[in-house]
Structures are given as C-alpha cells and as structure tokens.
Amino acid sequence: MGRVVVEVMPKPEILDPQGKAVVGALPRLGFTQFSGVRQGKRFELEVDGEVTPEILAAAREAAATLLSNPVIEDVVSVVDAAAVPGEATGTPVSA
Amino acid sequence: MGRVVVEVMPKPEILDPQGKAVVGALPRLGFTQFSGVRQGKRFELEVDGEVTPEILAAAREAAATLLSNPVIEDVVSVVDAAAVPGEATGTPVSA
C-alpha cells in the first residue's frame, strides 16, 4: 500500500495565529531558541497499489484544489512517502 | 537563518475527523485514487543562527511537550529544513 505526503503552509505574508500562539508559549516552557513559528498541515493520502506518476499528479491536483486554499496557503511538497527516508514506516520520533 | 521542521500526525488508532472529511470529499471532486486520508500538523520553527544538534534536541523536546499531544498524536519527524532536499527554500510546488 502506497502513501503520498502533502504538506501545506500558510503563505509568508499571511498572519498565522496558531504559529503566533506557539511562539508565545515556547519561552514560557523554557524554549528560548526559536524566533518564529509557522503552523501548517500535513496530509497522508493512502493508495491501494503503488504510487505511480499518475497518482502523484492526481495528488498534486488535489493538493492545489481541496487540501489547500491557494489564496492563503502554499503547497510546499507532494511526495511519495516511500521516497523519503524515515517516512515510509511512519516510525514515531522518540523525545 | 535556520529552520527546523516538525511533523505531527494523529496516532493510527485515533479517529481523525478532518481526514475522514477529506477522504469523503475527494471522490466528489473526481479523485478516486485515494482510499484513506489522515491529517496532521507541520510546524516550521525558525532560529536566528545555524540549526545545531542542541537546537534539534530542544525542538524534539518542544515537539513532544508543546507541539503534540502524546495521548493522541505521534511526532513523525523533527529535521533541519536545510537537510531535506527542497525544504530549504520552501519553494511552493506548482500544481
């Protein structure tokens, strides 16, 4: 079973209230290393067979039309999960 | 200026209503290739200097404590954006 990962972020010129909330909370928890935070979305689209170039093209179209709002968001990546090291298994990162 | 990308997804056993909404909408728009969708979050944490191993460790801790809810979510990746091809510039993918 294949998986396509789509990543969407708010455009740089768009205010990102969720990111602002996170950047305000970080120093209160002792994380003073970070000067800015943007929060976007990550989708995993599952397909029954292999991720073919046609599937990737459909995912790119879906990303541009349904998964993102092109007025306020950019699609930053549409990739076959199997092509990204560490993404294939979806193994959680331990803290 | 460095950037750390943190990706968080709902745990597989947790119901994901946003993903369910997307998977229901896809066939209505003509995308019949996809059998399942999960929706998670993607954060970009900006740092003023380089992304050092210490910064990455802090980002991992922030990911586990502030950016995700460990009861219902997994942190799937915490990486230096410069180490991921195509992530460094944040160039939008054209549809």
A57 to A53, A54, A70, B48: CA distances (angstroms)? 6, 5, 17, 36
Q: How many CB pairs under 8 A join A and B?
A: 149
Which structure tokens are listed for B28? 């209505």
**Mean local confidence (pLDDT), B67-85:** 93
Mean pLDDT of A26-30: 96
Helix (H) or strand (E) holding B17: helix B17-28
Q: What mean pLDDT comes out for the span B62-70?
A: 97
Q: Note the pLDDT of residue B92.
A: 59
Mean pLDDT of B23-51: 96
More confident residue, A35 or A91: A35
pLDDT given for residue A92 in this prediction: 59
- CATH classification code of A2-83: 3.30.1280.10
- pLDDT over 60 (residue A62): yes
> What pLDDT is recorded for position A95?
47
pLDDT-based confidence at residue B31 (cuts at 50, 70, 90): very high
ipTM of the complex in this document: 0.89
State the Cα–Cα distance between residues A82 and A4, nearest whole angstrom.
8
pLDDT value of residue A84: 75
| pLDDT (mean) for B59-68 | 97
CB proximity A50 to B under 8 Å: no
Strands B73-80, B2-10: pairing is: antiparallel
Residue B93: is its pLDDT beyond 70?
Answer: no
Q: Tokens representing A89?
A: 């298994």
Percent of chain B with pLDDT over 90: 84
Question: What is the band of A83 on the pLDDT scale with cuts at 50, 70, 90?
Answer: confident
Closest-CA distance of chain A to residue B1, Å:
10
Q: What was the pLDDT predicted at B95?
A: 47
**Taking CA atoms, what residue in A is nearest to B91?**
A76
Instruction: Name the residue ranges covered by the structural domains of chain B.
Output: 2-83
Nearest to A44 among B4, B38, B44 (CB): B38
CB B94 within 8 A of CB A61: no
